[in-house]
Amino acid sequence: MTEREGIAAFIHDRFIPIGTVVLAIILLWYAFTVVLNAPFERDQAARAGTEISTPELISNTMSQKRPVLPAPHQVGVEIWKTTVEKKITSKRSLIYHGWVTLSSTMLGFALGTGLGILLAVGIVHSRVLDKSLMPWIITSQTIPILAIAPMVIVVLNAIGISGLLPKAIISMYLSFFPVAVGMVKGLRSPEVMHLDLMHTYNASRSQVFWKLRWPASVPFLFTSMKVAVAISLVGAIVGELPTGASAGLGARLLTGSYYGQTIQIWSALISAAVLAAILVMIIDLIGRSVTRRMGVVS
């Protein structure tokens, strides 16, 4: 294969293949819309005692009020209606719900990243912590933490802590793990030669940390932060499920499933996906510019 450069490479290696796959997914989605929604339409026609023609059937499956699977454009229209046409303060605005979820995601992500870094620093510098804590950190992730989510929320509610913090705690619990593991790896990544060099400079432990270990761990930090931010969004969404479904994307999912509002479920789902993608991209961009300014070859 010949090497392409610049825009040609972008078009041939990114745009065309990804575009094709996305297009195929959308086409498949439309096909499934017709297949899954058709029984309802046939049923309706049979009850009314009328025959329904195929083109009519297909167009009807795209515009049901509570379809089994809404068509992509229905979801698109719903998202447009609930983001652009509604006021941001309205309870029906997806931006409002998205903001609720985003704020607890960010708080949990910040707390989790902080905790993860602290644990990693402790583990790298103390042999006891390394040996006694590390196995438990790994075990803590084999526990399905999300299962405790409803309990944490309800219990914290019972003692008067409600709102942002309980959800943020769940996000924190989920997101500290990738950061802790990644940072332990990162803080240990300096080679023996570099450590020895610092030793010949008569550097203290804190100097070794700030001048060698910390800079060396930055690329690891951003890689694990990308995982952590996506996972904290999941935590925030699941944390919203048992709060009586008042606000947030998770609440939209739950009310949608209670009332059979499939279009609402899908629009909440798509906006959660877009939110996750944007968050990961932002972290990626920050990470890239930081590592470039630090002169780390990526």
Partner 1 sequence: MNWAWILIAIVFWLSTWGINQRLAVLNIKNPNLQRGVDILIPMLFGAALLMLWEGVCRGFSVPTVLLPPPSMIWARITSSVDILWADFQQTYLKAVVAGFIMGCGSGFVAAIIVDRVPFLRKGLLPVGNLVAALPIVGIAPIMVMWFGFDWPSKAAVVVVMTFFPMLVNTVAGLAASGQIERDLMHTYASNYWQTLFKLRLPAAMPFIFNALKINSTLALIGAIVAEFFGTPIVGMGFRISTEVGRMNVDMVWAEIFVAALAGSLSYGALALLERAITFWHPSYRSK
Task: By CB under 8 A, name the binding residues for partner 1.
Answer: 13-14, 16-22, 25, 36, 68, 127-128, 130-136, 139, 141-148, 150-151, 154-155, 158-159, 226-227, 230, 233-234, 237-238, 241-242, 249-250, 253-254, 256-257, 260, 262, 265-266, 268-269, 272-273, 276-277, 280
Given the complex with partner 1, which of 187 and 276 has the nearer CB atom?
A: 276
Q: How far is the CB of 131 from partner 1 (least distance, A)?
A: 4
Given the complex with partner 1, which of 2 and 50 has the nearer CB atom?
A: 2
d(CA 214, CA 112): 18
With beta carbons less than 8 A apart as the criterion, state whether 189 and 220 touch: yes
Q: How far is the CB of 33 from partner 1 (least distance, A)?
A: 13
Given the complex with partner 1, which of 18 and 286 has the nearer CB atom?
A: 18
Q: How far is the CB of 295 from partner 1 (least distance, A)?
A: 27
Nearest alpha-carbon partner for 86 in 72, 98, 101, 69: 98
Q: Which runs of consecutive H residues, i.e. helices, occur in the chain? A: 6-9, 16-48, 54-61, 72-83, 94-125, 127-142, 149-158, 164-187, 192-200, 205-208, 214-240, 249-258, 262-294
State the amino acid at position 239 in one-letter form: G
For residue 144 the two structure tokens come to 């399905």
For residue 12 the two structure tokens come to 């041939």
Distances (CA, A) of 47 to 41, 50, 56, 90, 155: 10, 8, 16, 39, 50
Q: How far is the CB of 66 from partner 1 (least distance, A)?
A: 10
Given the complex with partner 1, which of 215 and 255 has the nearer CB atom?
A: 255
Given the complex with partner 1, which of 67 and 186 has the nearer CB atom?
A: 67
Given the complex with partner 1, which of 12 and 91 has the nearer CB atom?
A: 12
d(CA 245, CA 243): 5
Q: How far is the CB of 113 from partner 1 (least distance, A)?
A: 16
Distances (CA, A) of 83 to 79, 88, 237: 6, 8, 19
Given the complex with partner 1, which of 18 and 84 has the nearer CB atom?
A: 18
The SS3 call for residue 154 is helix
With b for 16 or more beta-carbon neighbours within 10 A and e for fewer, the 153-180 pattern comes to: beebeeeeeeeeebbbbbbbbbbbbbbb
Q: How far is the CB of 272 from partner 1 (least distance, A)?
A: 5
Q: How far is the CB of 149 from partner 1 (least distance, A)?
A: 8
